[in-house]
């Protein structure tokens, strides 16, 4: 529902004008649950305006602009005003940057106009002059939304989604051909016992009867909640004390029982965390992890909680979750033509409204783009969650004020989404391009396996790890295993490089040097705590070097995708040495952030070097370049390769990448020299 001022925006005849003339009116409308004013109030609060004081004076009023958006739907933008000027939604520390708060309007399903709607518009017109903050029922559909995501009706909706998917979505069961619903993890939590208790089930001796769910959650800093240990495992086989579990776990157990799921897998309760045999148990499950999520019936993700004590269930304002819709002859007219002059001639008066089905215009904001909401949640920043979400056939998300659903056929369903929203509206709520759901058996991955792998690595390296030295490679191992059929053999420490030397040409963004123990060789992106970008010219580059040998010593020899204790590769290619003498003017270099322009005393050209870490240039500094690939850019060729430092005789470590224009005579002359070296 909307206040009188907000309704008037969509009734014409002007596409811009004054919104609430005072901040007091906006706050009154928000208190009466005007959908737009609630959003504007929350926007002001989030931006630390404290609703009154700003660096530009007090906010005195608001204005609006209705425009046609480039995305193919109408947009209403709002501007805050002080006595001095229109201040926009300028962030506190950036007075020049404006980021207008906006409401998107999308024409969706048709419905017959409620009989009282004409009278409703007449009453709203009267309110404009007397009580512009007044909110009246508009006769459009309202839903009965409970005040908590822990309400039984919310679980019933989740169960409806779940059963509909399992019973009618053929594609969701066949996303991964190697899925086996009869497979079970080594241990499960039995949640569906008649007496309401739970216990740990050893599936090697007692086979479950039915599907199981998995839980994705944040452990939080310094976790101290109840976990499975070598000392309590026998007690857990009898009973797990519900009152000792963190709130998130008990909420998910309640959800499973309400949805008819009798078995649940939680990492901290199904993998031994400490005591005798815990290391071996962790290595075993690291190897089995892709099966755990691949074969579950449902993955439950508590996106909003920073730790398990927060819980899955949250209290919320039902009014904010109501679908907001308007009927508008004005928008009907605008939709008929997108020319600069939108209205021509007289519009139909309100009294002339017929009973024919008319478009319903749905209003939504960035806060309703729940795919984006998930991307900003604590859980999405966790490294392990990427493979947990991608491998699971269907996902139920607990967000700050709602639940949402994902499966292969329904990428985004929302608890308060109107069941008749059209496909166009669905597409507006899909995931951002950067976080696209990757179907690991799709035709695209078969056609572009290299691009797809590095896209995945790029997304993955944005995530956070509480124990990167142990987890960096393991938490991506399940996805690497799914890629191997398309990439062929040659996986080593996070890369498929043995038959593709350009795979070594990744680069760092916002690099942070690891401070822990050894986890990967310098030629692997996993050796860095940074966002990683794959080589941008795979499809057009010609390899100049050959990888002769890759050696990887694994902590668990049975898990090629697991932890690495040592690795090296032997590579043959053209090598060039920069032996710096800071007294030599011709070897000057210029520093630009993490990029360096190097001038060699013998070879013409300007070498661009992007380092993985800050470099120190002095009279004893030596940098070696090995050419890996050459590409024709259309206006000439350029050479890409690795920048190295020497460790000892013929053994090197990567320090970055370089690029140089390809010389007319190639790399055949001195001081380029063909050599076989070892990179560790």
In a domain, 197, yes or no: yes
In a domain, 53, yes or no: yes
Whether 181 and 58 share a structural domain: no
Residue labelled with tokens 């927060």: 310
In a domain, 330, yes or no: no
Give yes or no for a contact between 197 and 217, defined as CB atoms under 8 angstroms apart: no
Read off the DSSP letter of residue 653: E
In a domain, 359, yes or no: no
In a domain, 367, yes or no: no
Our CA angle for 482, 483, 489, nearest 5°, is 115
Range(s) of the domain holding residue 20: 4-140
CA gap 412, 224 in Å, rounded: 34
Give yes or no for a contact between 629 and 505, defined as CB atoms under 8 angstroms apart: yes
In a domain, 205, yes or no: yes
Ordered DSSP codes for 278-335 = HHHHHHHHHHHHHHHHHT-SEEEEE-S-SSTTS-S--B--HHHHS-EEE--HHHHHHH
Question: What 3-state class would DSSP assign to 387?
Answer: helix
Whether 93 and 193 share a structural domain: no
10-residue mean pLDDT series, the chain (680 residues): 92 87 90 91 74 54 83 82 52 42 73 78 91 87 85 95 91 79 94 85 93 94 91 95 95 96 96 94 90 94 94 89 81 58 34 56 73 78 88 91 86 64 35 44 65 86 85 87 66 81 86 73 91 76 88 91 92 86 53 69 74 71 88 78 90 91 63 91
Whether 424 and 298 share a structural domain: yes
In a domain, 324, yes or no: no
CA gap 346, 340 in Å, rounded: 17
User: Of 140, 163, 182, which residue is a domain's last?
Assistant: 140
Backbone dihedral region for residue 201 (phi beyond 0: left; psi -120 to 50: alpha; all else: beta) = beta
Chain center to CA of 332: 36
- The number of CA neighbours under 13 Å toward the Cβ of 25 is 20
Q: Cα(first)–Cα(last) distance of the chain, in Å?
A: 64
Residues whose CB falls within 8 Å of the CB of residue 249, separated by 6 or more in sequence, listed in order: 215, 225, 266, 269, 308
List the beta strands (DSSP E) in 544-648.
Answer: 546-554, 564-579, 589-592, 595-598, 607-611, 622-632, 637-648
Whether 130 and 222 share a structural domain: no
Whether 422 and 497 share a structural domain: no
Strand pairing report for 394-398 and 298-302 = parallel
Lookup: tokens for 550: 């890759």
Whether 38 and 72 share a structural domain: yes
Q: What pTM did the predictor assign?
A: 0.80
Beta partners for residue 325, in sequence order:
362
In a domain, 227, yes or no: yes
Of 518, 525, 523, 529, nearest in space to 564 by CA? 518
For residue 566, CA distances in Å to 461, 522, 554 come to 21, 11, 7
User: Of 82, 116, 140, which residue is a domain's last?
Assistant: 140
Secondary structure element (H or E) that encloses residue 38, with its range: helix 35-46
For 255, list phi and psi in degrees, rounded to 5: -60, -45
Tell me the pLDDT tens digit for each residue of 174-204: 777 778 889 999 999 999 777 778 999 999 9
Tell me the pLDDT tens digit for each residue of 481-536: 877 665 555 788 988 876 678 889 998 886 666 666 889 999 999 998 888 888 87
Residue labelled with tokens 């493979």: 387
CA gap 525, 642 in Å, rounded: 13
Residue labelled with tokens 């504007």: 40
Whether 427 and 561 share a structural domain: no
CA gap 143, 419 in Å, rounded: 11
Residues whose CB falls within 8 Å of the CB of residue 317, separated by 6 or more in sequence, listed in order: 33, 38, 147, 401
For residue 248, CA distances in Å to 44, 519, 535, 549 come to 31, 32, 41, 48
Whether 133 and 280 share a structural domain: no
Residues counted in the chain: 680
Whether 301 and 407 share a structural domain: yes
Secondary structure element (H or E) that encloses residue 390, with its range: helix 385-391
Residues whose CB falls within 8 Å of the CB of residue 289, separated by 6 or more in sequence, listed in order: 387, 474, 477, 478
Mean pLDDT of all residues belonging to the chain: 80
Whether 605 and 645 share a structural domain: yes
User: Of 435, 470, 490, which residue is a domain's last?
Assistant: 435
Q: What is the largest CA-CA distance in the chain?
A: 91
Whether 99 and 172 share a structural domain: no
Backbone dihedral region for residue 146 (phi beyond 0: left; psi -120 to 50: alpha; all else: beta) = beta
Lookup: tokens for 348: 């139909």
Residues 27, 28, 33, 37, Cα dihedral to 10°: -40
Give yes or no for a contact between 493 and 524, defined as CB atoms under 8 angstroms apart: yes
CA gap 647, 551 in Å, rounded: 18
Crossing angle of helices 474-487 and 278-294, in 10° steps, is 50
CA gap 188, 212 in Å, rounded: 8
Question: What 3-state class would DSSP assign to 203?
Answer: coil
Residues whose CB falls within 8 Å of the CB of residue 548, separated by 6 or more in sequence, listed in order: 570, 571, 572, 676
Whether 102 and 195 share a structural domain: no
Tell me the pLDDT tens digit for each residue of 39-65: 898 888 876 655 444 444 567 788 899
How many structural domains compose the chain?
A: 3
For residue 284, CA distances in Å to 264, 292, 558 come to 19, 12, 9
For residue 533, CA distances in Å to 454, 462, 537 come to 7, 11, 12
Sign of CA dihedral 578, 584, 587, 590: positive
């Amino acid at each position: 529902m909307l206040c009188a001022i907000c309704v008037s925006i969509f009734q014409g005849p002007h596409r811009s004008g004054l919104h609430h003339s005072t901040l007091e009116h906006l706050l009154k409308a928000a208190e009466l649950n005007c959908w737009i004013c609630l959003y504007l109030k929350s926007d002001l609060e989030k931006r630390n305006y404290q609703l009154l004081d700003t660096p530009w004076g007090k906010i005195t009023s608001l204005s609006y602009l209705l425009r046609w958006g480039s995305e193919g739907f109408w947009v209403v933008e709002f501007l805050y005003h002080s006595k001095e000027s229109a201040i926009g939604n300028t962030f506190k520390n950036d007075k020049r940057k404006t980021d207008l708060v906006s409401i998107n309007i999308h024409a969706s399903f048709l419905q017959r106009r409620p009989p009282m709607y004409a009278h409703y518009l007449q009453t709203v017109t009267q309110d404009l002059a007397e009580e512009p903050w007044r909110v009246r029922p508009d006769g459009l559909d309202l839903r009965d939304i409970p005040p908590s995501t822990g309400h039984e009706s919310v679980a019933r909706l989740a169960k409806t989604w779940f059963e509909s998917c399992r019973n009618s979505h053929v594609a969701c069961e066949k996303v991964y051909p190697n899925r086996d619903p009869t497979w079970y993890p080594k241990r499960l939590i039995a949640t569906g016992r008649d007496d309401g208790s739970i216990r740990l089930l050893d599936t090697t001796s007692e086979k479950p009867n039915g599907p199981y769910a998995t839980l994705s959650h944040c452990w939080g800093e310094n976790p101290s909640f109840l976990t499975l240990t070598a000392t309590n495992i026998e007690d857990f086989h009898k009973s797990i004390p519900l009152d000792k579990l963190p709130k998130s776990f008990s909420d998910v157990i309640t959800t499973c029982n309400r949805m008819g799921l009798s078995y649940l897998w939680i990492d901290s309760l199904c993998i031994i965390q400490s005591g005798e045999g815990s290391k071996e148990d962790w290595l075993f499950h690291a190897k089995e992890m892709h099966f755990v999520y691949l074969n579950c019936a449902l993955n439950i993700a508590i996106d909003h909680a920073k730790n398990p004590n927060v819980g899955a269930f949250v209290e919320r304002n039902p009014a904010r979750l109501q679908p907001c819709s308007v009927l508008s002859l004005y928008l009907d007219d605008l939709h008929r033509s997108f020319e600069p002059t939108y209205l021509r001639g007289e519009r139909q008066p309100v009294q002339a409204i017929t009973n024919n089905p008319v478009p319903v215009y749905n209003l939504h904001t960035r806060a309703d783009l729940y795919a984006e909401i998930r991307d900003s949640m604590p859980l999405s920043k966790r490294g392990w969650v990427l493979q947990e979400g991608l491998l699971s056939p269907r996902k139920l998300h607990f967000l700050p004020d709602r639940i949402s659903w994902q499966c292969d056929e329904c990428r985004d369903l929302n608890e308060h989404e109107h069941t008749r929203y059209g496909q166009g509206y669905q597409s507006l709520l899909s995931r951002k391009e950067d976080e696209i759901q990757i179907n690991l058996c799709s035709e695209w991955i078969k056609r572009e396996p290299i691009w797809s792998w590095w896209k995945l690595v790029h997304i993955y390296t944005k995530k956070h790890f509480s124990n990167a030295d142990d987890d960096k490679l393991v938490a991506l191992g399940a996805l690497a295993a799914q890629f191997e059929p398309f990439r062929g053999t040659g996986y080593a420490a996070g890369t498929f490089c043995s038959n593709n030397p350009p795979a070594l040409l990744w680069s760092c963004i916002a690099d942070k040097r690891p401070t822990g123990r050894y986890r990967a060789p310098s030629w692997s992106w996993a050796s860095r705590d940074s966002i990683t970008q794959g080589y941008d010219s795979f499809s057009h580059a010609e390899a100049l070097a050959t990888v002769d040998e890759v050696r990887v010593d694994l902590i668990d020899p049975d898990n090629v995708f697991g932890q690495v204790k040592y690795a090296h590769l032997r590579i043959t290619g053209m090598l060039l040495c920069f032996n710096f003498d800071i007294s030599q003017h011709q070897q000057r270099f210029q520093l630009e952030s993490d990029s360096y322009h190097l001038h060699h005393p013998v070879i013409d050209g300007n070498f661009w070097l992007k380092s993985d870490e800050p470099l120190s240039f002095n009279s004893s500094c030596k940098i070696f370049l090995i050419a890996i690939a050459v590409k024709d850019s259309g206006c000439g060729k350029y050479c890409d390769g690795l920048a190295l430092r020497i460790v000892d005789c013929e053994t090197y470590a990567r320090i970055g990448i370089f690029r140089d224009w390809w010389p007319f005579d190639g790399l055949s002359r001195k001081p380029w020299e063909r050599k076989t070296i070892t990179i560790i």
